[in-house]
Amino acid sequence: MSKLWGGRFRQGLDESAKLMSYSLDVDCQLAGYDLLVNRAHARALMVKGVLTEDEFGKIEACLADLDQGFDTDLDAFLGDDEDIHSCVERLVTERLGDLGKKMHTGKSRNDQVVTDVRLFCKDACDAIEGQLLALMESLYQMAVTHINVPFPGFTHMQTAQPVLFSHHLLAYFEMLKRDVGRIHHAFEEADVCPLGSAALAGNNYGLDRYLIAGELGFSQITQNSMDAVADRDFMLELLFANSVIMTHLSRLSEELILWSSPIVNFIAIGDNFTTGSSIMPQKKNPDIAELTRGKAGRVLGALTALQHIIKGLPLTYNRDLQEDKVLLFDSVETVLISLECMAKMLPTITLNRQVIDDQIKTGYSLATELADYLVKKGVPFREAHDITGNVVLDAIDQKLGLEKLSLDYLRSIDARFEADVFESLTVDAAISAKDLVGGTATRQVQSQLDRIKETFKW
């Protein structure tokens, strides 16, 4: 079969132009969706009498046969085709002759490709949500296991205040929960059917676009044919959601990398998610966490790249948009494997409790408790802050923890210190004092875990 656009040209494309412009190696990922789109369009043609019922039946059977073949060995069906759309049309025409040439009536590759991609995005959103939930469950289970484990909380990478390790994990749970919301929004943006818009102006056959949308599982149809073929906002929405997911995974990865360093030694990651060195036999490298952190750059870059592709395009379709799928497919694939690995890696992590307990005691993380103690004795907070700062300076000079200072010393600084001050200067007391919604107290963390269990039935 000749190229879809060959009639107007005396010469074929130069081989270098083919290498640059042919996209079959990329958009073959849309093969299954393209078959669905062709079937829905053919049914609409039959309803309008452009195809007979018998003709539609033959096209439908041919597309179903190709679907089975594609599932078995897609590569065997691919030829020297410009893209997956011309490949499918070639295959149908080879089998059905002139009837195959009717299939494209009233349809353009412009509305066809964007419909294919919208279907892909909807499935991608479902797959990403599934992996997000798997990772959220891993975080939940880890938090349940370690609910009462104290852990140093940091600001500016400096020891700040003690928290529960479970509380720290659930911070990432909250991030991922927001990611699920963004994926839901991306799904809704993709769930609009553009088929029937043809090249840019609509088609001449009065095809029932609501019928087509229903056939393909869309909940809405586009309202402007020019926007329909030019629009890639729905892809930007998914790429944005993916970029935020990878930003969150990168932040988690950074902490796992830091914690697993022998210098910090808070955790050990399982052997099945670490690698060794080719020259240093003692090394155990957190490579999967590092790769996740690195791959975040690719996903963030895909969003920026597509924005740059779109920003200068006039209406309607321009060939620049062929580059969108490379970015989309890589972004989705990267997010899915990163989420899967993180969900499987977390359960392999073990905590070095003694190291963690020792670290909590350094850095004077109980200083705020001392200031708050004074506030409860009637001291204005700013004054209490200054008093506590002076106490910390003396404790540093004496190389003592705050809890090791004598009551006589504390009373020499401020007479409002009493013997009960030491009840506040323990890690458990500091954690238990944060007993409000969102706080790190065990009661509050357990309440959050209970809400999660009720919501997700884990």
Catalytic positions: 156, 277
- CA separation for the pair 43, 53 (Å, rounded): 9
- CA separation for the pair 404, 395 (Å, rounded): 9
Question: CA triplet 281, 284, 290: central angle to 5 degrees?
Answer: 135
E-strand ranges in 172-259 read 192-193, 220-221
- CA separation for the pair 99, 290 (Å, rounded): 54
- CA separation for the pair 409, 394 (Å, rounded): 10
Which stretches of 312-438 are DSSP H helices? 324-345, 353-360, 367-376, 381-398, 407-413, 421-424, 427-432
Query: Cis peptide before 316, with omega less than 30 degrees from 0?
Result: yes
Token code pair at residue 48: 């309008």
The secondary element (H helix, E strand) that includes residue 150 is strand 150-155
Dihedral sign (CA 255, 259, 263, 264): positive
Q: Which residues pair with 353 in a beta bridge?
A: none
- CA separation for the pair 32, 300 (Å, rounded): 28
| Phi, psi of 443, rounded to the nearest 5 degrees | -60, -40
- CA separation for the pair 220, 208 (Å, rounded): 13
